[in-house]
Amino acid sequence: MLQCFHFMVKPAKDFTAKIKETQKKAKKDKRDLLDEDQLFVLDLARELSRVCQRSAVLEHIWNLDDIWSSSLCRVFILQWALMLESKQQQKTTMQPDGWSEVDVGILPDMINDQDVLQAKNNLLNWIKDLRAQPEQSVWPGEPVAKVLEDLQSAWRWGRVPNLLTAMELAMWALMLQQPNKETIPQQWLMWKQKNQNIGAISYIPQPVWDWISDAAVEVTLDLDTANPDLLICSDEKRMRCGFERKDIPNYHQRFDGWWCAVGVQGLGSGRHYWEVEVGERDWRLGVAKESALRKGFKSLNTDTGYLTIRLERGTELKALTVPFTALPDGLIPRKVGIHLDYDRGQLSFYDVDKHVHIYTYNESFNEKLFPLFGTVEIMKDLVIRSLAPKSQCLWPATCFF
């Protein structure tokens, strides 16, 4: 019996060893296919995970499970060399620590080999210091640790195309090493949206999304501003176009051209978040400045006091800058989240269902902003979502008009 047992165990051990050897060879073959920029990022990920606590998610990068394109690696290398340079300048000039305002919105076609080589040399000095630190010696802060864990789960389920976000947060936790790490994920979000205002984040980690939605406010439609063609439900959170114009007072603040209305309350400080179900038909959402004119069919864009995105013909998503900014059709949402950080000068739009960033306006605000809603839909409501239980609305008996 003992001989038989040994006979059974030995082949099993041999089989396991062969599997490990095959896997090792496969990874070596993969590594041999990578260029110098990709290998640089792999080695950096290994050092980050060695020093930073609870950053095991980065193992997927240096273990070749998550391989980035060469162009993405080059952009990453250049961005973080610029961030490091900015950080060093802050130390030299005795500026307070904080998230860098340096413009790192780098496009792949802007990159040349000499720039990448210089960026690597700049980062190598920092990496040398990193290698001198003991294993697991840096605590990134509980918020960052939770985000890293969420990203690992999201990546495994295919909600995240790559682990770029995990690398960025680990890099900043180690590079900045500020005493207060509690706000790093939020500051990372604002930084990303400032430097890449279109689709900056393909997946917003759940802890960061919770921070956004914690700023939720109740928004209701201002009936005195609604275009006379609109039907407004009695809860003042649903609207659609009617079949004929109503005979109502034409107040100076009422829209009489575009089929729009604004929220009752103007926003002049702090953070505010609201969500809107838009469906598939044409719509526009955003904010109107208090001084913006509302009469006629003049374009509702940044020149006339409006910060909005608009869907046209069901397929064309635009930010109404001057000239307008076309947004990828892959960003067209069914449910839109709008986050206004008045004090930091950001108005951002998100796909609520996918937790994806769509577009951000960056501007210094100096007057009240009113949530703006527009639709051409005659069959379905544009709905401002509420944390309160949904009210029932029957058409048209309970409608304002």
**pLDDT tens digits for 89-105?**
776 554 444 544 555 55
Residue 109 is predicted with a pLDDT of: 61
Question: Which token pair is 7?
Answer: 């006979």
CB atoms within 10 A of CB 163: 23
Whole-angstrom distance, CA of residue 92 vs CA of residue 104: 21
Residue 94 is predicted with a pLDDT of: 46
Q: Are 312 and 335 in contact (CB under 8 A)?
A: no
Question: Which token pair is 216?
Answer: 């939720």
Which residues, given as ranges, of the chain have pLDDT below 70?
1-26, 91-110, 177-179, 387-401
Residue 9 is predicted with a pLDDT of: 58
DSSP 298-318: ---SGGGTEEEEEEETTTEEE
Tokens 């009489």 map to which residue? 256
> For the CA atoms of 239, 240, 243, 248, what is the dihedral angle to 10 degrees?
30
Residue 108 is predicted with a pLDDT of: 60
Question: Which token pair is 230?
Answer: 């609109």
Residue 5 is predicted with a pLDDT of: 52
Amino acid, res. 9 = V
Per-position b or e across 213-239, b if 16+ CB within 10 A of its CB: beebeebbbbbebbbbbbbbbebbbbb
Tokens 């978040």 map to which residue? 273
Whole-angstrom distance, CA of residue 269 vs CA of residue 219: 16
Label each residue of 250-286 as H, E or C: CCCCCCCCCCEEEECCCECCCEEEEEEECCCCCEEEE
Residue 86 is predicted with a pLDDT of: 83
Q: Are 338 and 276 in contact (CB under 8 A)?
A: yes
Helix (H) / strand (E) element for 368: namely none
Residue 2 is predicted with a pLDDT of: 52
Residue 32 is predicted with a pLDDT of: 87
Whole-angstrom distance, CA of residue 262 vs CA of residue 369: 10
Asked if residue 134 has a cis previous peptide bond (ω within 30° of 0), the answer is no
Q: What share of the chain is helix, strand, coil (3-state, %, to 5)?
A: 40, 20, 40
pLDDT in tens, 102-131: 555 555 666 788 999 999 999 999 999 999
pTM over 0.75: yes
Q: Are 280 and 334 in contact (CB under 8 A)?
A: yes
Residue 256 is predicted with a pLDDT of: 93
Which CATH homologous superfamily contains domain 223-384?
SPRY domain (2.60.120.920)
Residue 208 is predicted with a pLDDT of: 97
Domain with CATH 2.60.120.920 in the chain: 223-384
Residue 393 is predicted with a pLDDT of: 54
Whole-angstrom distance, CA of residue 261 vs CA of residue 142: 42
Q: Are 190 and 212 in contact (CB under 8 A)?
A: no
Residue 56 is predicted with a pLDDT of: 95
DSSP state of 354: T
Question: 254: number of CA atoms within 13 Å, CB side?
Answer: 14
Amino acid, res. 43 = D
Whole-angstrom distance, CA of residue 91 vs CA of residue 55: 27
